[in-house]
Amino acid sequence: MSKPETTFTAGDASRIIEMAWEDRTPFEAIERTYGLNESAVINFMRTNMKPSSFRMWRKRMTNRVTKHAALRSEGVKRAYCPTQYKRM
């Protein structure tokens, strides 16, 4: 039995796509925030992106260590770069 598809606002959908593209944001962070595990994120990206963009994203994310919290080195404690969110 498949899970019913969760509907997201346009802003949430945009943020999920942004988080999925970010190298330092692990799939676990997306799951904590939006309830989508890795396979759900892949399906979400497949349905919300152009086919060529999805293929580019999958190629980029395949075997990327930083996308899985369990595979990261112990020194990485955050999901983003310190300069990512600059304050004015």
Mean pLDDT of the chain: 79
Question: What are the tens digits of pLDDT across the range 33-65?
Answer: 999 999 999 999 999 999 999 999 999 888 776
What is residue 5's predicted lDDT score, i.e. its pLDDT?
56
More confident residue, 6 or 20: 20
pLDDT for position 61: 87
pLDDT of residue 84: 54
3-class SS string, the chain = CCCCCCCCCHHHHHHHHHHHHCCCCCHHHHHHHHCCCHHHHHHHHHHHCCHHHHHHHHHHHCCCHHHCHHHCCCCCCCCCCCCCCCCC
- pLDDT cut 70: percent of the chain above it: 66
